[in-house]
Chains A and B, each alone.
Chain A
Amino acid sequence: MTQSYRIETGGLINRNKKISFKFNGVTYFGYEGDTLASALLANGVHLVGRSFKYHRPRGFFGAGVDEPYAVVQLYRNGETEPNIKATEQELFEGLEASSVNCWPSVNFDIGAINNFLKIFLPAGFYYKTFMWPKSFWYKIYEPFIRKAAGLGVASTKHDKERYEHKYEYCDFLIVGSGPSGLASAYSAAKNGAKVILAEDKPRYGGSLLTSDVNIGNQSGKDWADGIISELKEMPNVSVKNRSQVFGYYDHNMLVMSEKVSDHLPKTKKYHPNKRLWYIRAKEVLISSGSIERPIVFGNNDTPGVMLSSAAKEYLKVYGVLVGKKPLVFTNNDSGYETAIEFKKHGVDSIVLDSRSNPQSEIIDEAKNLGINIKNSYVVVAAQGYKKVKSADVATISEDKKTLGKIENIICDCICVSGFWTPTIHLASQSGNKTKFNEEIDAFVPGVSKQNESTLGAANGVFTLEETLKTSFDKGKELSKKITEKDNEVSIPNVVEKKYSKHDKFWCVPLPKGKNYKRFLDFQNDVAVSDVEIALREGYRSIEHVKRYTTLGMATDQGKTSNLNGLQLVSEIENKVVPSVGHTTFRPPYTPISIGAIVGREVGKHSKPTRKSPIHNWHEEHNAVFVDAGVWLRPRYYKKGNETLFEASKREAKNVRTNVGVCDVTTLGKIDVKGPDAAEFLNRVYTNAWLKLPVGKARYGVMLREDGVVMDDGTTTRISENHYHMTTTTAQAANVLSHLEYYLQLVWPELNVNVVSTTEQWAGAAIAGPKSRDLLKKLFPKTDVSNEGLPFMGYVEGDLFGVKARIFRISFSGELAYEVNVESDNGRFMWEKIIELGEEFQIQPYGTEALSTLRIEMGHVAGSELDGRTIPYDNALEGLLSKKKDFIGKRSLRRTAFVAEDRQRIVGVVPLDKKTSIPEGSHLVKDASAPLPNKKLGHISASCWSVEHDNPFSLAILKDGKNMIGEKLFVMSPLKNKVIPVEIVSSHYVDPKGERVRS
């Protein structure tokens, strides 16, 4: 294919480097420095997509961030990214892209039938129609809308690209490198201030790249180039292109997304794809310029209708003609610049000006060049389906209400200019109260809330001379306060053409008998008629109108549509725009990749990984690990081809018959020290602690103030004023904070100190009928007999020269001990246990076997203590002291907590003794009752009881106390299972607890 719309010379592209790319499977050529949009236009491709609702053909409307139509699916280096603006995507060798929101193809789209059914799809259509009948929603409407709507397709693959975050501080963050950005950056930098100048496009200069002006006897672009190269040389200045400042937050923190690699075929080694900058700036200067706004007319969404400034940019920057028979439709002088630019390249355009007799230098220049100008003329409707073929035009009366006779003009594009809208998004995000400027029919920043100033076109200043002067001054004045320097900067002479006043005209009336769609929001297909319906139906607030019609809610966030929408509402409501107000501007200014926001915190980098000092041994012995909070714990030790189920059964069985060892290093450990430690524990735990002797451990439950169980664990009195508290792995950090809260804020009079010792100790639980025999071998010098070390006893021992703490406590319900040594000796301890345990058939066991053992014993753990249960629910009411007060005690008197039929822990066994019960299933009385079936309780934990060799679960069941022996059903709609079950005691093994004391 030839680039038949590329002019011979000119533009800022590199014609020496030809680049091939594919769009919708067809290969085209462009040049280095092109965007995907400019390269497609150079090849005469205007049809790039289909609209959201009616699937109408869509082309290009802008040339940058404001683009509402041309979003594509991009393929790069084996990855795909949806919803990329073709007007922002730089061309690289091998780029592939395809249209979105069209099926089966962009040229033939079945959804376009909506276009002919459009009377059925007005504003609020989805709200009204798809509500009824209810059952149709899931089966018919929802899947259909899903297929028809939506933009691109997100990749389901793991993203191999890297994204970085960076934190930066500066005196000035200057957003935009147009004339005001350059001028203010220059004078601030000259005073020695630390400056970051951010430009979202690849090229610096903003409007100077396309305007026909002269600064200090050079062209605007040459002046900009000079300033930029001077700034780049300064050590206190950082100049960034491809960097979009998209959010303005509190305390002058702004966030900027820098596209580091998107313009390259492949990300360079060690480079990120994007870099997200968090910038705290003493002063923010917003010089984000302005965006041209359209004039609304019939079929104004036809490909080939575009902003006049975009047509000029394609020509001046990329050397591309958007058409060879252009029609320019304007209400101000900007349209003439585009017409003159066309003329310079030998293309004759016709200018339709809605004004009756405009006079200015630039209009004179156009006249002198022989450009055909028609005053008091408007475009009534564009004609052509996939591309503009002609335009229906007419004269318009002075009051803009009456059209003259319709004429037809052959053209291949319509360049429209409805004057300029300052880009005030960042200022508004900062909390600036914006105000309406009637002079320019747009909102401009008002009173600043943070240290922010808006300059140039973004502030509604449209002359270069004033922009440069105010910007140089602002940079100088603000930097003087920061650096206390006052270096003189000379303001260059400016030659520019003066503009005449624009016409307050934004929407062409419909001709009699015609019902053209006149679009306000091009991406979301919101037409004038939709807003009229919303208002007719009683929506008044602009925020409501926006949500009902989806005006301005597309990915372009209404950059080209908001003000016209406001004009329409104010006109129909007979109000002025400022009283209608604008909708809230929220970050991000433009869509930002999720990857950039997430940064490096993905996969294993999302949280720290904690490993026990015995971790390497586990690894060497085929442990399969599981995440337990931030810890990695062995779930089971795989032998041969064993499954998780087989291995955990083997490990648990071995604990019940011989002896097993489990790494319990991860349990939270807190040292509680001080003369008032006993009193403190007495308030924290529900049971009594004042009389616990030295060398004894006690099980305790702690509550939150609302009576709900917070955590449980054993605490041992090591010496007179020293207690060793253990917590569950998951709650360790919360418990420490909880204790500190009470000690620092509630009872500062208690002389107690707490400190985490979790990482100081490595722990091994030795459990099983042969555990005492093993312990004797490990500690030959220590009396570990039932009398010497009874249940809940504690002694210190000597493990072959290593100091050890021995606790006789049990989670598995077997005769069991827990041995702690200093972390560095953890592996030594473990290997000794394995070595000496060999003769007792010792096996290590993981968390899965650990769960099995505790579940069949009816010991509660995290799945029962889930933040929704009180002591009674867990059969822990025996631990509630009646004699003393404790945290949360007063709440236990609440009516619901003392109800007769209060929920309580029970055991659940399937009647067939075979079917495993999924955790989280519900318990119901009648499996065939109509929905919603009343839920009586839920399964909190399930295992295969190794003692009984059948499935067993724990459940929290309403009136559990009186339900033992009842037959119920377990239902799991997720797994599509209904299981008849019997309710039994939660203590399924050794209900009297004899083993732990044996």
Chain B
Amino acid sequence: MRSQNEFSYGGDATVKRPEINKEVTDQEWDNFVYNRVSPRGKHLELWQHLSGCRQWIKVERDTATHEIFNTYKANEEIA
């Protein structure tokens, strides 16, 4: 168990950056940079263990109750 103070929030973990050197439409780019859903309930999000091992991790968290269901490594595939 680590204190929440050691972590910093990094946004929605389901957003995928378009590949480098690949042409994308305005809409695709806007979706990547700006457009986010703001769900009440389960949310997969990024956190970085900033004052610690410096790993980025994915956290499945309930935005209403703050309950944490699961954590994943940065490169872990999520079913």
Across the interface, do A250 and B65 meet the contact criterion of CB distance under 8 Å?
Answer: yes
Q: Given A737-B48, A741-B10, A748-B75, answer yes or no on A891-B55 (Cβ-Cβ < 8 Å).
A: no
Output the nearest chain B residue to A895 by Cβ-Cβ distance.
B26
Interface string of A584-611 (1 = CB under 8 A from B): 0000000000000000000000000000
Chain A residues with Cβ below 8 Å from B66 are 250-251
Across the interface, do A744 and B24 meet the contact criterion of CB distance under 8 Å?
Answer: no
Q: Which of A683, A706, A740, A745 sits near B20, CB closer than 8 Å? A: A683
Across the interface, do A744 and B33 meet the contact criterion of CB distance under 8 Å?
Answer: no
Across the interface, do A705 and B32 meet the contact criterion of CB distance under 8 Å?
Answer: yes
Chain A residues with Cβ below 8 Å from B21 are 884-885
A890 within 8 A of B: yes
Across the interface, do B17 and A746 meet the contact criterion of CB distance under 8 Å?
Answer: yes
Taking the closest CB of chain A, its distance from the CB of B23, in whole angstroms, is 9
Chain B residues with Cβ below 8 Å from A706 are 33-34
Output the nearest chain B residue to A742 by Cβ-Cβ distance.
B17
Number of A-B contacts (CB under 8 A): 38
Q: A885 to B22, alpha carbons, bound, how many Å?
A: 8
B29 within 8 A of A: yes
Output the nearest chain B residue to A747 by Cβ-Cβ distance.
B20
Q: A748 to B16, alpha carbons, bound, how many Å?
A: 13
Interface string of B52-65 (1 = CB under 8 A from A): 00111000000001
Across the interface, do B29 and A744 meet the contact criterion of CB distance under 8 Å?
Answer: no
Q: A884 to B50, alpha carbons, bound, how many Å?
A: 31
Q: Given A705-B32, A706-B33, answer yes or no on A740-B46 (Cβ-Cβ < 8 Å).
A: no
Across the interface, do B46 and A745 meet the contact criterion of CB distance under 8 Å?
Answer: yes
Taking the closest CB of chain B, its distance from the CB of A430, in whole angstroms, is 12
Across the interface, do B20 and A885 meet the contact criterion of CB distance under 8 Å?
Answer: yes
Indicate the member of A741, A745, A747, A884 with the most B CB atoms within 10 Å. A745
Q: Given A737-B48, A744-B55, A890-B24, answer yes or no on A705-B74 (Cβ-Cβ < 8 Å).
A: no
Taking the closest CB of chain A, its distance from the CB of B17, in whole angstroms, is 5
Q: What is the predominant secondary structure among interface residues of chain A facing chain B?
A: helix
Taking the closest CB of chain B, its distance from the CB of A231, in whole angstroms, is 30
Chain A residues with Cβ below 8 Å from B24 are 890
- Within residues 719 to 772 of chain A, which ones have a CB less than 8 A from any CB in chain B? 737, 740-741, 744-748
Chain B residues with Cβ below 8 Å from A740 are 48, 54, 56
Output the nearest chain B residue to A893 by Cβ-Cβ distance.
B26
Chain A residues with Cβ below 8 Å from B8 are 737
Chain A residues with Cβ below 8 Å from B17 are 705, 746
Across the interface, do B20 and A744 meet the contact criterion of CB distance under 8 Å?
Answer: no
Chain B residues with Cβ below 8 Å from A741 are 10, 48, 56
Chain B residues with Cβ below 8 Å from A884 are 21
Q: A744 to B34, alpha carbons, bound, how many Å?
A: 21
Q: A751 to B33, alpha carbons, bound, how many Å?
A: 26
Q: A884 to B20, alpha carbons, bound, how many Å?
A: 9
Output the nearest chain B residue to A449 by Cβ-Cβ distance.
B65
Q: A890 to B66, alpha carbons, bound, how many Å?
A: 35
Chain B residues with Cβ below 8 Å from A891 are 29, 33
Output the nearest chain A residue to B50 by Cβ-Cβ distance.
A737
Across the interface, do A744 and B75 meet the contact criterion of CB distance under 8 Å?
Answer: yes
Interface string of A822-843 (1 = CB under 8 A from B): 0000000000000000000000
Chain B residues with Cβ below 8 Å from A250 are 65-66
Output the nearest chain B residue to A749 by Cβ-Cβ distance.
B75
Chain A residues with Cβ below 8 Å from B54 are 740
Q: Which of A251, A737, A744, A885 sits near B74, CB closer than 8 Å? A: A744
- Within residues 4 to 22 of chain B, which ones have a CB less than 8 A from any CB in chain A? 8, 10, 17-18, 20-21
Taking the closest CB of chain B, its distance from the CB of A735, in whole angstroms, is 13
Across the interface, do A705 and B48 meet the contact criterion of CB distance under 8 Å?
Answer: no
Across the interface, do A890 and B29 meet the contact criterion of CB distance under 8 Å?
Answer: yes
Interface string of A192-233 (1 = CB under 8 A from B): 000000000000000000000000000000000000000000
Q: A683 to B21, alpha carbons, bound, how many Å?
A: 10
Q: A885 to B21, alpha carbons, bound, how many Å?
A: 5
Q: Given A683-B20, A737-B48, A885-B21, answer yes or no on A745-B56 (Cβ-Cβ < 8 Å).
A: yes
Chain A residues with Cβ below 8 Å from B65 are 250
- Within residues 31 to 79 of chain B, which ones have a CB less than 8 A from any CB in chain A? 32-34, 46, 48, 50, 54-56, 65-66, 74-75
Taking the closest CB of chain B, its distance from the CB of A174, in whole angstroms, is 25
Q: A777 to B18, alpha carbons, bound, how many Å?
A: 53
Q: A251 to B66, alpha carbons, bound, how many Å?
A: 9
Taking the closest CB of chain A, its distance from the CB of B36, in whole angstroms, is 13
Output the nearest chain B residue to A890 by Cβ-Cβ distance.
B29
Chain B residues with Cβ below 8 Å from A748 are 74-75
Q: A884 to B22, alpha carbons, bound, how many Å?
A: 10
Q: A745 to B24, alpha carbons, bound, how many Å?
A: 20
Across the interface, do B32 and A744 meet the contact criterion of CB distance under 8 Å?
Answer: no
Q: A670 to B56, alpha carbons, bound, how many Å?
A: 18
Taking the closest CB of chain B, its distance from the CB of A891, in whole angstroms, is 6
Taking the closest CB of chain A, its distance from the CB of B11, in whole angstroms, is 10
Across the interface, do A705 and B75 meet the contact criterion of CB distance under 8 Å?
Answer: no
Q: A759 to B46, alpha carbons, bound, how many Å?
A: 28
Q: A345 to B50, alpha carbons, bound, how many Å?
A: 67
- Within residues 857 to 911 of chain A, which ones have a CB less than 8 A from any CB in chain B? 884-885, 890-891
Taking the closest CB of chain B, its distance from the CB of A369, in whole angstroms, is 55
Taking the closest CB of chain A, its distance from the CB of B58, in whole angstroms, is 9
Q: A740 to B47, alpha carbons, bound, how many Å?
A: 12
Given contacts A250-B65, A744-B55, A885-B21, 14 further A-B contacts (CB under 8 A): A250-B66, A683-B20, A706-B34, A737-B8, A741-B10, A741-B48, A741-B56, A744-B56, A745-B75, A748-B75, A890-B18, A890-B24, A890-B29, A891-B33
8 pairs, CB–CB < 8 Å, chain A vs chain B = A250-B66, A251-B66, A705-B32, A706-B33, A737-B50, A745-B75, A890-B18, A891-B29
Which A-B residue pairs are the 9 nearest by beta carbons?
Answer: A744-B74, A885-B21, A744-B56, A885-B20, A890-B29, A250-B66, A748-B75, A746-B17, A745-B74
Chain A interface residues (CB < 8 Å from chain B)? 250-251, 683, 705-706, 737, 740-741, 744-748, 884-885, 890-891
Chain B interface residues (CB < 8 Å from chain A)? 8, 10, 17-18, 20-21, 24, 29, 32-34, 46, 48, 50, 54-56, 65-66, 74-75
